[in-house]
Amino acid sequence: MLKLFIKKWLFLIFITLSNLFLAIRTSIGFFYFLFWVFISSMGMGFVLLLLEYFLIKLKIERSILCKAEEGDTLEIETLIENNSFIPVFNFVLEDNLSCSDYQESKQRFLFEYLGRDLYETAKYRCKCPKRGRYNIGPFVVYFFDPFGLFFLKKTYKIYSEIFVFPKTFPIRGFPPIRKGILPWFGIATTHVSGNDDEFYGVREYREGDPIKRIHWISTARKNRLIVKQFQRQVFFRATILFNLEKEKNFGEGKDSVAEFMIRIAASVSRYLIERDISLDIIAGTESAVHIQSNRGVEHLQDILKFLTIAKIESKVGLGEIFEGFSRNIPDDSTLIVIMLDKDWKYMPIMLPLEKRNISLIPLILISSTFQYVFEKKEVVKDIRIKLSKTFGFNPITFSRGDNLEEVFSQISI
Amino acid sequence: MRDKFLLAKLVFTFLLLSLVIFSFKPVLDIYTYYSLFGILGGFYFSWFMRERSSHLSRYLVNAGAIVILAWMIHALLNSTLFYSEIILICIKGAVFFEVIMSFNAADRRYLAYSQAISLPLFMYCPLITGGYNESLLISTLGFILCWLAILRLEFYEAFNKPLSEISFEHNNSFSLLIIISLISLVLSGVVFFKFPLKKVVKSSYLESINAQARETQLEKEFDDSQTKIINNINNLISEQDFIDDKYAILGLLDPLIKESSTIMEVEKAELGLKSYLKSPGPGIEKGEGEETTVILKEYVDKKSEINIKAAEDAIMQNLKKDLLNIKDRASIAGLANKIQNSSSNQQVLEYAKKLEEAVEGSSFNNQIKKELTVLLNKLKEWKIFSLNHIGIFFAEEKSQPLKEEEPKPAPAEEKQPKKLKVHPQKAGVSFNIMQSASLFNSIFFTMLPFAGTIILILFFVLYFLTKKEKMKLIALSKDSPRELIINLYDNLKALLVIFDAASEEQLFPLLYAELIEKKYAVTDNSFLKFSVKFEEAKYSRHALQPADAVSVLQDYNHFLKILFQNYNKLSLIFRYFVTLLYRKPIFI
């Protein structure tokens, strides 16, 4: 704002002082009169400005959604009410939208007049190009003099928290997930069981058991309340493992390795949880994080929130993360590793997981495509051949500029 | 939106520049119209080129600006380096800059430069126009109004407020701007007179701002008095009896009217002719002789002034032989000017000495120095002669009434013009300033009633327009009670907006009435009753009687009385003026 007006101020001050100087040097009344015109106009403006600054009480409220996805346009509505006993003239409301691009980060609205006890609304929108947790605000109100030249600034510390989740894409094809069995899943969790659950037996009713689980025939027969018990027969579990290393974050902005990893992790998580698969997350960010196995929309929200704020500051390698958390990977499950081709060296330490009936799905990002610009088809082909020869499987690879949705849709199920 | 702003700003900038350029008409002469058409053409060109790539026009404008700058430097180097001439060159240069920049006015920066330059240009208007007059007053008011409009447009544009959203009819902000501007003007006037500017006599800035005009005037007066002298002396010759006297008078007249005559020749001729004129002879009556003596004295004064000017011009011409030696040129020219404006022999000698030293110490070549020294002596001698001649004349004037008639007590007003007459040199600097200041004061005093009259006229116009609205409403009470009630309700709603109790758009009239009655503690439900009647008038179809109108009017007026009790007098007066602005009658 200062940048917008500083030239005008300097010019005005220069002209005013020039008039004074010329008036003193030449005794010409016109210069002297002009000097006083400038001084009195500025003086009157300042008096009004100070009155407004100290007497005006504004109530400002912002209505905003607390969640959005990368690239989404956020609709915001702000209500401003004049609770003071005098009207306010010529003021500008500024909202600081930290989630937006630099050019759009300040939204300004000019209000010429707001009478006592009256209110106005400002509707605006901003695009959220980058994932993260943002504090929208504060509001800044600039009170202007009647000439629109000088202003005083008042900050209203009103913030709204918003999560910009990483952009997810629909996954149409995914390698098969290994099926697991839970030996005992208890009555308390049966309400989430699906059709695959099998009847396990009956037992006496205990306080807290749901009435719908009462086995009426046995109850009638035994003359006491008997409930049914189920065992989870079919149960899918998966773990996503990735490491956001600062040193290996090649590329820039959205086309960087870490952003690709986060986007893939978010989309795979959504895909798996929507299919009722219990999901663990093991990730290396500024510290190693393990989000324990769970299902449902709330779990997905937790995962997305974590991915939203995940920082690319891991100082350890993928191998160390794996070693530290390998015992947390459940048996009879699937490990999905999102990794760089440069991390092949850790592949041998993951292969023994097969003994625990854990299948491995490596999603490999070709680092050279993020570093250099060249014909990537050949490079990808080479890497695929090498991997299939060394480890005996055909990996899913990603390179810079890939349409991630297309890559997954090409997977044969 | 940008286009609309640009167009509006172009229009106001053109008005602004037109005012400035017209004010400089005496200086710009024929260029006044060329400049105006140039600016108009420039704006037209830039408006149509606004969508296209502006590289070419920017290069052309920059090239044009460089050419003007070069011209200004050339003109300054070839000038006398007096402030007056420098200012005139700068003014011309600035006007040409304005013309050239108008060709790229679609670029906001260039337009801003144009507007900015207009301000210092306008400041110098009174110096060029030679004082203060009505046209300057109108220009000043117009200039201020244009600037207010431009500032407002800039303000709206800075915050992307579309022009289509701006209503000038109910714009409180705009009203405040006008009020503050008027108060500022009055306030600055009060301060201007309360703390007057101390007069500075020692000033050489603008003493010769109208030098050219004065020179022309001097030459004209000189020619006139020369013609008169020749005629009178011819008469004197023709009436002389002796041929020797005729030749003697002719011999005296010849060096007097000769251009290259020396001081001694002029002095001798004047004395000789005076002696002939003082001794009454045939054909020369007593009165005629005295008149010719006065003309002769004036002629000699003018001749010495012309010679001083010629010497000074010759010095300037010599100085121009070394254009780049600006420092020495400025100091020598300044000292020569000081000699010309000196009011005593002592001052002349002092400045002459300084000038001699400056010439000696300068880096001019010997030839120029020699010529300058000769001219300096000539200037000095003519100036001393001029001062002495004025002194003698002054002494003779004083002694005249003592000898011939009883001294009369001269009225105070008569003394001033006499002083001005005998001290034309001394008055050179201060006359312009004093005249300007006094003229300005008088203009300001005329401006105050002028502003007051405008405000009064505005008040009465608005008052009668409001009265007309009131009469319309009263007329409806007989013809159409329904329409009256609806219009009256709208009027009351508008009044409540002025009293900061505006209704929300979605609020039903009865709910609004309840809120208002609660706010203003209306116990007799007059506003509620009025609102019920309004709903009936607006939504029902049955006929309403004049009695309904009367009861509504009673409720309306009664409610207003209660409303006014909630405000202090000052606030009511302010709001009354606002109602006049919006032409909303109060009591019906």
CATH number at residue A301: 3.40.50.410
Q: What is the ipTM of this complex?
A: 0.72
Full-model pTM:
0.61
Instruction: Please report whether residue A342 resides in a domain.
Output: yes
Tell me, yes or no, whether A389 lies in a domain: yes
Work out the angle at residue B528's Cα, subtended by the Cα atoms of residues B521 and B556, and round it to the nearest 5 degrees: 85
Q: Can you give the pLDDT at residue A195?
A: 43
- Are A194 and A131 in the same domain? no
Partner B contacted by A182 (CB < 8 A): no
Number of independent structural domains in chain A: 4
A304, A346: one domain: yes
Contact with chain B for residue A82, Cβ under 8 A: no
Residue indicated by tokens 């610009």 = A373
| pLDDT band for position B416 (cuts 50, 70, 90) | very low
Q: Which H helix or E strand runs over B84?
A: helix B83-101
Contact yes or no for B173 and A15 at CB 8 A: no
User: Looking at residue B409, what is its pLDDT?
Assistant: 44
- A212 and A69 in a single domain? The answer is no
Beta strands at A119-127 and A73-82: parallel, antiparallel or unpaired: antiparallel
Specify whether A225 is located in the same domain as A243. Answer: no
What are phi and psi for residue B200, nearest 5 degrees?
Answer: -110, 115
Average pLDDT of span A142-154:
92
How many CA atoms does the CB half-sphere of A2 hold within 13 Å?
1
Per-residue pLDDT band for A307 (boundaries 50, 70, 90) equals very high
Residues of A273-297 as b/e, b for ≥16 C-beta within 10 angstroms? beeebbbbbbbbbeeeebbebebee
Inter-chain contact B155–A26, Cβ cutoff 8 Å?
A: no
Those of residues 399-438 in B touching chain A at CB distance below 8 A are 433, 436-437
Contact A160/A62 with Cβ under 8 angstroms? yes
What is residue A58's predicted lDDT score, i.e. its pLDDT? Answer: 92
Same domain for A268 and A349, yes or no, is yes
Structural domain contains residue A221: yes
- What is the end-to-end Cα distance of chain B in Å, rounded? 43
Q: Decide if A172 is inside a domain.
A: no
- Note whether A129 and A241 are same-domain residues: no
Predicted pLDDT of residue B407: 44
Note the pLDDT of residue A374.
Answer: 63
Mean pLDDT, chain B, whole residue set:
77
In sequence order, the 6+-apart residues with CB closer than 8 A to the CB of B93 are B68, B69, B71, B72, B75
Residue B200: name the closest of B444, B415, B436 by CA: B436
- Quote the radius of gyration of chain B (alpha carbons, Å): 37
Q: How far apart are CA B186 and CA B195, in angstroms?
A: 14
Report pLDDT for A342.
Answer: 85
Q: Indicate whether A21 belongs to any domain.
A: yes
Confidence of residue B493 (pLDDT cuts 50, 70, 90): confident
Query: Is A145 within the bounds of a domain?
Result: yes
Q: Greatest CA separation found in chain B?
A: 122
Same domain for A272 and A357? yes
Window B:171-230, CB contacts with A under 8 Å: 171-174, 176-177, 180-181, 183-185, 187-189, 191-192, 197-200, 203, 205-206
A326 and A385 housed in the same domain: yes
User: Angle B421-B422-B424 (CA atoms, 0-180°, nearest 5)?
Assistant: 70
CB count within 10 Å of CB B331 equals: 17
Interface size A-B, in CB pairs within 8 Å, comes to 131
Interface test with A, best of B150, B197, B448 (most A CBs within 10 A): B197
Task: Find the domain containing A204 and state its range.
Answer: 182-231
Residue A237 phi, psi dihedral angles, 5° rounding: -135, 145
Is residue B132 over pLDDT 70?
A: no
Domain boundary residue, one of A37, A54, A71: A54
A114 has a chain B CB within 8 A of its CB: no
CB of A253 closer than 8 Å to CB of A259: yes
Range from B199-208, B322-331, B456-465, B501-510 carrying the lowest mean pLDDT: B199-208
Closest residue, chain A, to B147 (C-alpha) = A147
* CB-CB contact of A284 with A243 (8 Å): yes
Closest-CA distance of chain A to residue B80, Å: 20
Average pLDDT, stretch B184-212?
66
- What's the angle, vertex CA B21, arms to CA B137 and CA B55, rounded to 5? 135
- What are the tokens at A88? 């306010």
**Where does the pLDDT of residue B12 fall: very low under 50, low under 70, confident under 90, or very high at 90 and above?**
very high
Sequence-ordered alpha helix ranges (H) in B159-282? 172-194, 211-239, 243-257, 263-278
Same domain, A317 and A198: no
Indicate whether A252 and A147 sit together in one domain. Answer: no
* A280 belongs to a structural domain: yes
Q: Is the predicted pLDDT of residue A287 greater than 90, yes or no?
A: no
- The B residues from 143 to 172 touching A (CB cutoff 8 Å) are 144, 148, 151-152, 154-156, 158-161, 171-172
What's the pLDDT score for residue B422? 34
Q: Of A27, A32, A110, which has the smallest distance from its Cβ to B192's Cβ?
A: A32
Report phi then psi at B304, rounded to 5: -70, -35
Q: Which residues 282-321 in chain B show a CB within 8 A of chain A?
A: none
> What is residue A394's predicted lDDT score, i.e. its pLDDT?
73
Kindly state whether residues A17 and A152 are assigned to the same domain. no
Q: Which residue of B has its CA nearest to A107?
A: B159
Among B363, B393, B359, B391, which Cα is nearest to B377's?
B359
What CATH number is associated with residue A64?
2.60.40.10
Helix (H) or strand (E) holding A92: strand A88-96
Residues 6+ positions from B276 with CB-CB distance below 8 Å: B236, B245, B248, B249, B252
Which residues have a Cβ under 8 Å from the Cβ of B270 and sit 6 or more positions away?
A: B256, B296, B297, B300
Q: Of B270, B334, B258, B328, give the one whose Cα is nearest residue B296.
A: B270
Chain B's closest residue to A1, CA to CA, is B158
Q: Which helix (H) or strand (E) holds A361?
A: strand A359-365
In this structure, the answer to whether residues A289 and A344 fall within a common structural domain is: yes
- Please indicate, yes or no, if residue A170 is contained in any of the structural domains: no
- Kindly provide the residue ranges of all beta strands, DSSP E only, lying in A97-138, ordered along the sequence: 106-114, 119-127, 132-136
Q: How confident is the model at residue A62 (pLDDT cuts 50, 70, 90)?
A: very high
Structure token digits, residue B496: 């409540």
B388–chain A Cβ distance below 8 A for any pair: no
Pairing between β-strand A288-294 and β-strand A198-204 as defined by DSSP bridges: unpaired
Q: Can you give A236-275 as a three-state secondary structure string?
A: EEEEEEEECECCCCCCCHHHCHHHHHHHHHHHHHHHHHHC
